[in-house]
Amino acid sequence: MTKIIGLTGGIGSGKTTVAKMFSEQGIPVYIADEEAKKLMDLDEIIEEVRITFGNDTIVNNKIDRAKLAKIVFNNAEQLKKLNKIIHPAVQKHFKDWLKIHYSAPYVIKEAAILFETNGHKQCDKVITVVAPQLLRIERVILRDKSDKQSVLQRINNQWSEEKKIMLSDFVIENIDLEKTKTQVDDIIKLLNKI
């Protein structure tokens, strides 16, 4: 039975960078956020978003992600509604993906809101990536061309690092890439024993 290793971390922590490090070692990696973005192009998801958030969120039969982001990132209740639409579709997609990788001893499932959606309960182990908040804000501003206030709002919509660490089996401090790589290698050695 293939083991599922959850990989999570707050926005800007560098979990995608860490996921790539695992992938480079030949470990199958599922990036939930990337798959969720692709699934948002499915007709049934578009229709559910239209019904839940209104016609304004759909432009040329596609979800207007900027409009939808404005609605959900400032409102925890609206974010919950969106997750109820997207999360089951991602779960089903992940199960299908897992069937393809059944021969791997373990796979990495990278998800930003792994704990918030109780996704950690389907994992055999969980890795949380952490970094100082100022560095995280800096990274997101550079990556998304956003402002400090909107990054802070997104951070506040996620669980705190402390809460995630308490429920994690491994913690990677992602400040210096070389040190991060060493931590990944150490975790791979431990995972190869389970």
Could you list the residues known to form a binding site for ATP, using ranges: 12-17
Residue numbers belonging to the annotated binding site: 12-17
Distance of CA 61 to the CA centre of its chain: 26
Q: Which residues contact 13 (CB under 8 A, 6 or more apart)?
A: 129, 130, 131, 136, 161, 174
What does the block give as tokens for 145?
């061309």
Q: In b/e form, how buried is each residue of 149-178, taking b as 16+ CB within 10 angstroms?
A: ebbeebbebbbebeebeeebbbbbebeeee
